[in-house]
């Protein structure tokens, strides 16, 4: 059997490559669409994407995550995995198809409700994207659960390339926000179909059970997947809702333009969480209660510490250099977005930890314990938005998101502590040291200015800030010289291996 640590490292590497490629393509698209469409039309696209993100959840119905849990428990038994996938695929066609048809039919009414005529066809494009995204979710989660993240990398790369090409072509041809939506759908459909083909070639066709009880096993499989998926649907639905509730309420209470000014920086910081999702993809499946192996506590605790140190380093430039970052990336029309980017710093830190702890609870089979946390988070987020958006504008959305995550992430950490005896004190100590280092780093960055900072100054200041950040971690003994040498050697080895 392959050593679990090596397997985790390999899967984390491919997951990071997946997110890095996605980030590169998405960054190009976001900057292009924000600049080419302008705040108003980009706001229409942002509203459609926000509505679609909410509807992805009932389309998925929790099936992808539920299937991943059962697949992870059956790694190495291809026939058992194939039966799980067969039953999950049947459920997927019903749930996702129903949601997509409903959105196509309701697109006109939703456009009238927002008083945005262009929203109708944009939503119809997003409906097709939802179906493709649901396919990618099911088979991508299956690859992760099987420890074959390299296969998910291929499907994601195809999705991103097709989305970029289709979106650029349609928008430059004059299709506007609707063109961006149909370009998005082309990418997700391509990735979903490739994922389906690769998965079935990997595990083979599901065969009847050896005892001939395939009908009974299929029924039990459907019930178990649907039962666990039901809890996940409510939980993940609440999670996505409190991620999208800000842009939806800003669009309803202010305007589509205001929604675009908020959504643009929010999409930028999403890229900063890709390393966290990559690490979660490599580590979280190993926490599952495998029929042979128990939960892997040490890699999980180590991954949490690494995420704390990484995310803390990110928040300093967001706080100090929000204005020049927005000016450089989004352009002068989005000057108001700088305050949103700065206010999102707590969210950036907490959301980097969130994927690992929430996925770990899912793989441990205790997703139902997440339900009250998710509901409280979305209610708190929505309440803050409704009260503050009319008073202080789009920054209120960032405040609501920060408070919601301040509830969501610590609560999941506490669940992990109770399930696998996770020690929290060392993690809190690491967090305190990392935030001290980030504060010192912020002071260094401020020496280069906070408003009109040139690109060379951003690069030099950023490198110096990172060096100071690492230096403070060494002084506080959060990092050791031996750990740095190990990280350097590991990174160098991987670069050399990729060239051979």
Instruction: Summarize pLDDT for 168-190 with one digit per residue, the tens.
Output: 999 999 888 899 999 999 999 99
Tens-digit pLDDT profile for residues 96-132: 889 999 999 999 898 888 888 888 999 999 999 999 9
Band of pLDDT at residue 1, cut at 50, 70 and 90: very low
Token couple for 286: 């190993």
Q: Is residue 212's pLDDT more than 50?
A: no
Helices (H) and strands (E) in the chain, counts: 18, 0
Q: What is the mean pLDDT of residues 489-493?
A: 58
DSSP 476: T
Average pLDDT in the chain: 82
What value does the mean pLDDT take over residues 59-66? 81
Would you state the pLDDT for residue 41?
Answer: 85
As a whole number of Å, the CA-based R_g of the chain is 22
For tokens 């702890």, the residue is 357
Nearest C-alpha neighbor of 232 from the set 64, 91, 84, 87: 64
DSSP H helical segments within 171-271, as ranges? 176-203, 214-253, 256-270
- Answer whether residue 485 shows pLDDT above 80: no
Contact partners, residue 71, CB within 8 Å, separation at least 6: 81, 84, 85, 141, 142, 145, 146
Both tokens of residue 445? 């960055």
pLDDT score of 186:
93
Q: Residue 211: is it exposed, middle or buried by C-beta count within 10 angstroms (0-12/13-18/19+)?
A: exposed
The pLDDT assigned to 169 comes to 92
Please check whether residue 57 is in contact with residue 311, taking contact to mean a CB–CB distance below 8 angstroms: no
Residue that the structure tokens 């939806």 belong to? 248
d(CA 377, CA 358): 14
End-to-end CA distance of the chain: 25
The span from the CA of 120 to the CA of 127, in Å, is: 11
| Closest-CA residue to 145 (of 204, 250, 220, 70) | 70
Q: Return the number of other C-beta atoms located less than 10 Å from residue 290's C-beta.
A: 17
Q: Is the dihedral of CA 145, 275, 311, 163 positive or negative?
A: negative
Global pTM value? 0.66
Instruction: Tell me the per-residue pLDDT of 3-57, one tens digit each, with 9 for 90 and over.
Output: 333 456 676 677 767 767 777 787 788 888 888 888 888 888 888 888 888 788 7
Q: Which two tokens stand for residue 409?
A: 């992430």
Dist CA 142 CA 193 (whole Å): 14
Q: Is the distance from CB of 270 to CB of 262 less than 8 angstroms? A: no
Per-residue pLDDT, 320: 94
Q: What is the pLDDT of residue 219?
A: 35
Percent of the chain topping pLDDT 90 = 29
């Amino acid at each position: 059997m392959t050593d679990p640590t090596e397997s985790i490292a390999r899967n984390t590497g491919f997951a990071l490559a997946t997110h890095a490629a996605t980030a590169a393509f998405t960054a190009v698209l976001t900057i292009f669409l924000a600049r080419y469409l302008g705040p108003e039309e980009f706001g229409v696209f942002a509203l459609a994407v926000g509505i679609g993100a909410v509807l992805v959840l009932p389309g998925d119905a929790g099936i992808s995550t539920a299937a991943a849990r059962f697949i992870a428990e059956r790694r190495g038994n291809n026939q058992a995995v194939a039966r799980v996938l067969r039953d999950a695929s049947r459920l997927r066609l019903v749930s996702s198809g129903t949601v997509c048809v409903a959105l196509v039919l309701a697109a006109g009414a939703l456009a009238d409700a927002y008083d945005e005529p262009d929203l109708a066809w944009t939503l119809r494009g997003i409906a097709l994207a939802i179906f493709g995204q649901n396919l990618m979710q099911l088979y991508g989660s299956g690859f992760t659960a099987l420890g074959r993240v390299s296969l998910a990398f291929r499907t994601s790369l195809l999705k991103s390339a097709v989305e970029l090409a289709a979106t650029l072509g349609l928008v430059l041809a004059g299709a506007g926000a609707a063109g961006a939506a149909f370009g998005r759908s082309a990418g997700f459909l391509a990735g979903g179909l490739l994922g389906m083909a690769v998965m079935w070639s990997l595990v083979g066709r599901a065969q009847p059970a050896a005892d001939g009880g395939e009908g009974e096993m299929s029924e039990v499989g459907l019930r178990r997947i649907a039962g666990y998926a039901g809890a996940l649907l409510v939980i993940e639905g609440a999670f996505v809702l409190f991620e999208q509730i800000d842009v939806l309420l800003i669009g309803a209470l202010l305007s589509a333009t205001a929604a675009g000014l908020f959504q643009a920086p929010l999409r930028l910081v999403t890229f900063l969480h890709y390393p966290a999702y990559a690490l979660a993809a490599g580590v979280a499946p190993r926490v599952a209660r495998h029929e042979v192996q128990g939960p892997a506590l040490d890699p999980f605790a180590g991954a949490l510490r690494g995420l704390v140190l990484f995310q803390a380093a990110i928040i300093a430039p967001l706080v100090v250099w929000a204005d020049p970052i927005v000016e450089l990336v989004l352009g002068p029309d989005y000057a108001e977005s700088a305050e949103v980017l700065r206010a999102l710093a707590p969210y950036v830190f907490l959301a980097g930890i969130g994927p690992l702890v929430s996925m770990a609870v899912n793989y441990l089979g205790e997703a139902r314990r997440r339900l009250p946390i998710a509901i409280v988070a979305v209610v708190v987020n929505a309440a803050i938005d409704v009260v503050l958006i009319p008073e202080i504008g789009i920054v209120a959305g960032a405040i609501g998101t920060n408070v919601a995550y301040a509830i969501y992430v610590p609560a999941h950490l506490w669940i992990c502590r109770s399930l696998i005896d996770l020690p929290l004190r060392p993690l809190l100590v690491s967090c305190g040291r990392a935030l001290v280092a980030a504060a010192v780093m912020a002071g260094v960055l401020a020496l280069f200015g906070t408003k009109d900072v040139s690109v060379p100054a951003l690069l030099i200041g950023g490198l110096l800030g990172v060096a100071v950040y690492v230096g403070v971690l060494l002084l506080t003994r959060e990092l050791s010289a031996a750990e740095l040498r190990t990280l350097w050697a590991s990174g160098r080895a991987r670069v050399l291996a990729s060239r051979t």
